[in-house]
Amino acid sequence: MHEGTAKEVVRGHEMSGVVEKVGPGVRSWGAGDRVAVEPLVSCNACQACLEGRRQLCPALSIMGVHQDGGFSRALVVPEYALLRLPDSVSDRSGALVEPVAVAVHALRRAGLFSSPQRGGRVLIAGLGSVGLMLVAVSAFLGLRSVSVVGRHAYQREAAQKIAQHYNMHLRPFQSISSAAIEEKADIAFEAIGGKSSVLNDIIAGCIKPGGKIVCLGVFEPGKVHVDPLDLLVKSITLIGSNCYDHYEEPSDFEVAMKVVQAEGSFLEEVFVTHVV
């Protein structure tokens, strides 16, 4: 559950579905169309929206977080939220487009998207669904080696399964302190959030001077503080990565759809653990 999720909303921000009917003026979609849904609802008028960065809109409302989401029996969504599901992509895989897009966006923010091998040593801290998706998408894009930190054995096993599938070299660690012993990373992803001190542990012991840290973890407000002097002295770049956007072509969701089209059944094996 996202921090700040409104209590009364129907959850589910990772969605696929079938168009039942369309509102007046909608020309591109019709009943029966299979779609993935980008759950960001925004004003469509501010600078951020006009640039294709809905996630930065001051009026942003996320389906499944701030308003009803994918566990609803039916949902009214704006036309711009839809992306066509190819016939080869199952409904279940369609629901994975959203988390894949989160990873695509983070890899773009890190500068790893077009040439992942040029980024140097990569560390992914946190192997929840976001961290594991980062492992999967970076491997799909061609990253050949990665260090990961996952507290639980089943998380590290899932990362290993992904690494084997892509023939990627994986260095798994149970804690950030054990990861700090090896060669420091050029790029690190923080995918834990909450009250975790791992961001500061990365700054203190896991990142090379001049390195980049991409923050994807959703932190509790006011719980974790970073000393800017550490960033200055080590010339570390701290990068926030929020959701996904349409700032670059193709959009993060469009890239994610291609990933799912190619790898949907494998991703289902790893990421779909329960069916209700």
Q: Decide: is 46 part of the binding site for Zn ion (CB under 5 A).
A: yes
Residue 40 is a binding residue for Zn ion (CB under 5 A):
no
Name which of 46 and 239 has its Cβ closer to Zn ion: 46
Residue with tokens 């897009």: 101
For helices 252-271 and 129-141, the axis angle rounded to 10 degrees is 110
Shorter beta-carbon distance to Zn ion: residue 42 or 147: 42
Give the binding-site size for Zn ion (rule: CB under 5 A).
Answer: 5
Give 259's contacts (C-beta < 8 A, 6+ positions apart). 100, 104, 137, 140, 267
Instruction: Work out how close the CB of 43 gets to Zn ion at its nearest, in angstroms, rounded to a whole number.
Output: 3
Write down the least CB distance from residue 48 to Zn ion, Å: 5
CA distance 29 to 79: 8
Cis, bond preceding 250 (omega within 30 deg of 0): yes
Q: Which is nearer to Zn ion, 10 or 46 (CB)?
A: 46
Rounded to the nearest whole angstrom, what is the least distance from the CB of residue 108 to Zn ion in the complex? 21
Is position 226 an interface residue for Zn ion (rule: CB under 5 A)?
Answer: no
Closer by beta carbon to Zn ion, 22 or else 43: 43
Q: Which of 9, 15, 36, 57 binds Zn ion (CB under 5 A)?
A: 57
Q: Is 42 in the site for Zn ion (CB under 5 A)?
A: yes
Residue choice 10, 22, 43, 218 for contact with Zn ion (CB under 5 A): 43
The closest alpha carbon to 16, from 28, 40, 33, belongs to 33
Which is nearer to Zn ion, 66 or 171 (by Cβ)?
Answer: 66
The alpha carbon dihedral of 13, 263, 171, 212 has a sign of negative
Residue of 216, 237, 258, 54 whose CA lies nearest to 132: 216
The two three-digit tokens of residue 52, written as one number: 């294709």
> Using CB under 5 A as the criterion, which residues of the chain lie in contact with Zn ion when the complex forms?
42-43, 46, 49, 57
